Amino acid sequence: MKVFVTRSIPEKGLRKIKKRYDTEVNPEPRRLEKEEMIDAVRDKEALLCTLTDMIDREIIESGKDLKVISNYAVGYDNIDVEAATEKGIAVTNTPGVLTDATAEMAWALMLAISRHLVEGDTFVRQDRFEGWDPTLLIGTELKGKTLGIVGMGNIGQAVAKRAVGFEMDILYHNRSRKPEIEKTIGAKYLDLETLLEDSDFVSLHVPLTEETRGMIGKEELKIMKESAYLINTARGEVVDEDALVDALRRNEISGAGIDVYADEPYGANSDYYDLDNVVLAPHLGSASHKARNGMAEMAAENLIAVLEDGMPENIVNPEVLKEEIR
């Protein structure tokens, strides 16, 4: 069977696939254009792709023999799952293995923005540091502050658990209540509006869906405290970026830590660049050796399970395997 891998992923995963199948890996360190993707999947049984590959209906329909699209990511908003399901193609993802890495990135952004870490780094490199200064880059402590988590799934819960160590109060908003996490760490469930009103830090951990697109817009940012910070490691489009840039410019909120952008896979929003009250990361949530190796292994195992007529551990549209293949 033939497999196409759109970007070079860690060998731990690639090896498993290469051992079993005729495997073609995009040799170039770049995202492929749509026409190249269409050509590549034409004669393949399996596609292993990353979140920067926009797998739309046209690409899916050009893969006449495709059985599985294995996404090297937990979010799968880059794939037209409906089109894949119609064609009986399984779509899989990699939840869990990147939870801690992404939660730590949310914390890195929270600490960096609240303590002016990036501004401080620039200040030192510009040779402006002339010794301790009682008024230099005064920030906000986390202890005793309120953290509002929007999306209390794997990553949201990992972020919440770490907040206990910082002695913060924890609020959350989620599609469904999580009694277990309320009991174990004392997180309090609130509607989104009240959470935004009461939080000193708001951290986003929902997937990008039709319901969550633009979930944080002008109105929501207005509800937040002037002293509050917004952290986004979810997906860029969960936030209305123009509204956020505006709110940051007018100091309607204190700052933001951003890992993800609405314009991905093409880049970030350059309107952020001249703002001091934002820390920007280039989508590094899962960028730890452990997480990326785990994702590679999981993506390979998911793909193999489908090609071997099994049920992968992580499948987004299980109805396909129940009805079409088995």
Does 231 sit near ligand NAP (CB under 6 A)?
Answer: no
Cβ(156)–Cβ(180) under 8 Å? no
The string of DSSP letters for 191-235 reads -HHHHHHH-SEEEE-----TTTTT-B-HHHHHHS-TT-EEEE-S-
Stretch that binds ligand NAP, among 128-136, 207-215, 248-256, 297-305 (CB under 6 A): 207-215
Q: Residues 13, 63, 95, 257: which binds ligand NAP (CB under 6 A)?
A: 95
Q: Residues 212, 302, 314, 317: which binds ligand NAP (CB under 6 A)?
A: 212
Contacts with ligand NAP in 133-162 (CB under 6 A)? Answer: 151-156
Q: Residues 257, 285, 294, 312: which binds ligand NAP (CB under 6 A)?
A: 285
Sign (positive/negative) of CA torsion 181, 187, 190, 193?
negative
Stretch that binds ligand NAP, among 25-33, 61-69, 173-181, 318-326 (CB under 6 A): 173-181
Contacts with ligand NAP in 105-124 (CB under 6 A)? Answer: none
Does 9 sit near ligand NAP (CB under 6 A)?
Answer: no
Instruction: Give the separation between CA 318 and CA 162, rounded to whole angstroms.
Output: 33
Mark whether 283 is an active-site residue: yes
The residue (of 234 and 307) whose beta carbon lies closer to ligand NAP is 234
Radius of gyration of the chain (CA): 21
Mark whether 264 is an active-site residue: yes
Two tokens, residue 166: 């910082």
The string of DSSP letters for 98-159 reads THHHHHHHHHHHHHHHHTTHHHHHHHHHTT---S--TTTT-----TT-EEEEE--SHHHHHH
Stretch that binds ligand NAP, among 29-37, 119-127, 141-149, 280-288 (CB under 6 A): 280-288
Residues at the interface with ligand NAP (CB under 6 A): 74-75, 95, 98-99, 102, 151-156, 174-176, 205-209, 211-212, 233-235, 259-260, 283, 285-286
